[in-house]
């Protein structure tokens, strides 16, 4: 059931929600959280589709906040709120309210969203694009227990990671981190199968892919060894290779769906490691509403060394181009010292 409201208020939207629930015969509210999606008109459709798909696993009230750009001075001084209320089959397993803000109310979106939040339920705010540099200080972000951004959608994702580290507040997370959950799980499982000491790591992937940087930071943080970042044509992450005193361990994924796990002395194994869509990533993030300390540790470890990075070296073997990451440039110490500084050699998955 759809209800269109023009030049409306939050009070009228709430009344429309109650009326719609009664009309379809479900007056009770059975939702577990409120998901606030802050986006623009261009990306609203894709973001809403991903949120609706994730709602099949997490029934929620989805509030899509679209800040419309007013072209004339007169339009910018006139505030207006349009809403589209979807309940029942049109909203999947929850409720959806699409809010379009015009004029001065664009700068006060929190005053529109606050009366529409589910009472006594967690709040998650997601910025598919154009996320604030400090999500916790954003008026909408201040309403939430969890704040989800996506540095992959930024023009300079690596620099964006540095800003995320400087402004990190418990409850912040990023979909670039969520994308590497299967990689972290697989690498941790591989290390659990051997009793070896890791001496160095190489992470290979697309040049401007923040997931590659986060994985390299996580490995360096957990293993305490030098990590080299090399470029490839993609898609996304393509390989992680670990040098150990028992022989190499490699996880290669050339096609973006099927990977090969190679451990010295064991047969090669094919593992499913497909690239997941946004709905799956959001659904994973909604499973946990507590702060992600592992993400915070990896983010701060790598970005502190980002400023001292010297960029790219010459071409590496196999046509790949080696890049000195913050992790590698900070780890240029003798091997004996590196070993002494790294008592823990096994990584834990998210």
Which letter does DSSP use for residue 128 in this model?
A: S
pLDDT one-digit tens code per residue, 293-349 = 999 999 887 755 633 432 333 333 333 444 444 334 333 333 333 333 333 333 333
Token pair for residue 5?
């409201």
Write out pLDDT tens, residues 236-286.
889 999 998 888 999 999 888 889 999 988 899 999 888 899 999 999 999
Residue-wise pLDDT for 85-144, tens only, equals 998 776 667 889 999 999 889 989 999 999 999 988 999 999 999 999 899 999 999 999
> What is residue 332's predicted lDDT score, i.e. its pLDDT?
39
Strands 198-205 and 237-244: antiparallel
Q: What is the pLDDT of residue 303?
A: 56
Beta strand pairing status for 146-149 and 60-67? unpaired
What confidence score (pLDDT) does residue 55 get? 87
- State both tokens at 313: 């070296």
Is 50 exceeded by the pLDDT of residue 22? yes
Tell me, yes or no, if the pTM score tops 0.85: no
User: What pLDDT, in 10s, does the model give residues 34-82?
Assistant: 999 999 999 999 999 999 999 888 889 999 999 987 666 666 667 889 9
pLDDT digits (tens, 9 = 90+) for 197-242: 998 899 998 888 899 989 999 998 888 888 888 888 878 889 999 9
pLDDT of the residue at 29: 65
Q: Quick one: how far is CA 279 from the chain centroid? A: 11
H/E stretch holding 252 reads strand 249-252
pLDDT score, position 240: 93
pLDDT, averaged across the chain: 82
Closest CA to 38 of 146, 162, 125, 117: 125
CB 76 within 8 A of CB 104: yes
| pLDDT value, residue 75 | 64
pLDDT of residue 304: 56
Whole-number pLDDT of residue 1: 83
Contact between 199 and 243 (Cβ < 8 Å):
yes
Q: Of 53-57, 86-90, 164-168, 287-291, which range is least confident? A: 86-90
Structure tokens at 317: 């073997």
Task: Report the pLDDT value the prediction gives residue 234, as an integer from 0 to 100.
Answer: 76
Q: Residue 13 pLDDT > 50, yes or no? A: yes
């Amino acid at each position: 059931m759809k209800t269109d409201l023009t030049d409306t208020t939050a009070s009228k939207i709430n009344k429309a929600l109650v009326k719609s629930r009664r009309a379809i015969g479900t007056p009770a509210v059975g939702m577990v959280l409120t998901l606030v999606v802050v986006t623009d008109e261009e990306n609203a459709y894709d973001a809403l589709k991903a949120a609706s798909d994730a709602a099949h696993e997490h029934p929620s009230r989805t509030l899509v906040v679209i800040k419309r750009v007013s072209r004339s001075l007169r339009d910018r001084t006139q505030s207006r709120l349009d809403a589209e209320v979807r309940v029942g089959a049109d909203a999947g397993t929850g409720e959806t309210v699409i809010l379009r803000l015009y004029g001065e109310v664009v700068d006060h979106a929190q005053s529109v969203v606050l009366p529409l939040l589910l009472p006594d339920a967690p709040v998650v705010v997601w910025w598919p694009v154009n996320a604030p540099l400090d999500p916790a200080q954003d008026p909408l972000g201040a309403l939430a227990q969890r704040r989800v951004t996506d540095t992959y959608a930024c023009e300079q994702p690596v620099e964006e990671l540095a800003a995320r580290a400087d402004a990190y507040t418990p409850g912040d997370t990023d979909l670039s981190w969520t994308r590497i959950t299967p990689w972290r799980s697989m690498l941790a499982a591989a290390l659990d199968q051997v009793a070896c000491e890791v001496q160095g790591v190489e992470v290979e992937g697309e040049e401007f892919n923040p997931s590659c940087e986060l994985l390299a930071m996580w490995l360096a943080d957990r293993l305490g060894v030098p990590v080299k970042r090399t470029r490839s044509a993609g898609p996304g992450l393509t390989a992680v290779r670990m040098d150990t005193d028992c022989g190499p361990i490699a996880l290669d994924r050339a096609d973006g769906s099927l990977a090969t796990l190679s451990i010295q002395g064991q047969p090669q194994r094919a593992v499913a490691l497909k690239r997941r869509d946004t709905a799956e990533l959001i659904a994973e993030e909604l499973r946990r509403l507590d702060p992600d300390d592992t993400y915070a540790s990896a983010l701060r470890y790598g970005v502190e060394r980002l400023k001292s990075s010297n960029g790219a070296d010459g071409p590496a073997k196999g046509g790949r181009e080696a890049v000195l990451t913050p992790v590698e440039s900070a780890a240029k110490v003798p091997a004996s010292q590196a070993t002494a500084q790294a008592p823990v050699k096994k990584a834990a998955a998210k």
